[in-house]
Structure 1
Amino acid sequence: MDKTGIYSKTPKGLEEIDTRALKLPPKLRQLLIMVDGQTDVASLVDRFEQENAVGHIIALEHMGLITLSRGTAVHDVSEFGDGANDPVGREEDVSALRLELSHLLLDSLGPMATDMAMKVEACKSRAELRALCETCRNMVTGMVGKARGDKYWAQVEALLG
């Protein structure tokens, strides 16, 4: 990986900072704020102080909130060790998504969604995450209404791409 790669916020990312429309989990929002178009990936990872920083960067990129402005994208090469991406399965990408989707479900339904959130965190692939999140969408819609179910699904789509 080109550790000197630099990410910048997209117009969608700048809008998210202002509006909080996607209701990002605090750690993901913190990283989005840290992306400034000048700080390289290695420095972001060091400053973020999270084991899954690379996965969070990938999640923000997949959501269209940041874009590579110089260097190589995070997911192109894996040199960050244990927290880095698996070039075949992109494990870190799935790990970050599991966490974000789990938090999203808990934010939508509260503690009553704990069992389902644990199932989300156990998913091993994007396809498995999507299928389970569709079930969660029905659950959210049934418990708190169509508008909240639609909002949940829009956030899932933004994360899964």
Structure 2
Amino acid sequence: MDPRLVFVRTAKGEEEFERRTHGLSQALRRVLILVDGKSPVARIMERGLGLPDVEGALTTLAQEGFIATAEEAGRRGLGVGDPKAELATLARSLLGPQSAKVVKKIQESGDTPQELAATIDSCRKLIKLFIDDAKAEEFARRAHELLFSSTQMGH
């Protein structure tokens, strides 16, 4: 496995992370928790020292759809058909502990592409005001790309 790969949690991975919906084993769950959307495999393996077979766990999590490479996630829209879940995942990975208000705003949004686009712009303003200009612009850019790719795929 390429030590430079960066993994993100898919909507399925976020569900498991937040609510233990899919009943992952404790060993796989511990590795899933280390996946933050920013750290390359090499860093995850460093942080997972003492955990059994981190690389094997990453492979299993990817095969079972809990994580995807950042590149795959962008190409496949995180492999799910729910743009709101994808946007919430993006907000969590980009903003970390500061994502709660943005995620809430996304979850309360309407489902049409127009409503979601308006929500993205509203979230950009919120992030700009309370967190950071650069993160606000990155969120807006990546969120609009996600929305575009999910609408292109017929969702």
| Category of TM-score, reference length = shorter chain | 0.3 to 0.5
TM-score scaled by structure 1? 0.42
